[in-house]
Amino acid sequence: MNPQKGQSAKVAALGGVDSMTHDNNSVCPFANSPTLLIPVASPMRFVHVADVHLDTSFSGRSPAVRRRLRDASREAFRKSVDLAIREDVHALLIAGDLFDGDRLSFTTERFLLEQARRLEAHGITVVYATGNHDPGSPISGPRSLEWPSNVHVAWDDTPRRIQVDDHEGRPVGYVTAIGHSNDREKRDLSRLLPRPEGQLPEVALLHTQVHSTPGAEDHHPYAPSELSYLVRSGYDYWALGHVHIRQELSVDPPVVYAGSLMGRTHTDTGPRGALLVDVSDRDSAAASFRPVSPVRWATILVDHLEDATTLDRLERRVEVAWRALRDAQAAGPELEWMVRVQLVGPCPLWRELRAEENLRVLEHELTGLLGALDVALMADRIHPVIPVGEHRVRADVLGASLRLAEAVRRGETRLADLDPDALAGIAGKDPALVDAYVRELLEDADGEIAARLLGPDSDRS
Q: Which residues pair with 58 in a beta bridge?
A: none
Q: Which residue has the higher pLDDT, 232 or 449?
A: 232
Confidence of residue 448 (pLDDT cuts 50, 70, 90): confident
Q: Which CATH superfamily is domain 5-291 in?
A: Metallo-dependent phosphatases (3.60.21.10)
The mean-pLDDT minimum among 30-39, 60-69, 268-277 falls in 30-39
The mean-pLDDT minimum among 313-322, 387-396, 424-433 falls in 424-433
Mean pLDDT for 2-12 is 37
pLDDT at 460: 53
pLDDT at 32: 43
Mean pLDDT for 48-52 is 97
Mean pLDDT for 251-258 is 92
Q: Is 335 exposed, middle or buried (0-12, 13-18, 19+ CB in 10 A)?
A: middle
* Domain spans in the chain, listed from the N-terminal domain onward: 5-291, 295-383, 390-460
- Tell me the per-residue pLDDT of 168-215, one tens digit each, with 9 for 90 and over: 999 999 999 999 998 889 999 999 999 998 789 999 999 999 987 776
Average per-residue pLDDT for the chain? 86
Confidence of residue 11 (pLDDT cuts 50, 70, 90): very low
- Tell me the per-residue pLDDT of 391-404, one tens digit each, with 9 for 90 and over: 888 888 888 888 88
pTM of the full structure: 0.81
- Tell me the per-residue pLDDT of 93-120, one tens digit each, with 9 for 90 and over: 999 999 998 778 999 999 999 999 999 9
The mean-pLDDT minimum among 5-19, 311-325, 343-357, 429-443 falls in 5-19
The mean-pLDDT minimum among 8-17, 271-280, 407-416 falls in 8-17
pLDDT at 207: 96
Rounded CA-CA distance 98/144 in Å is 14
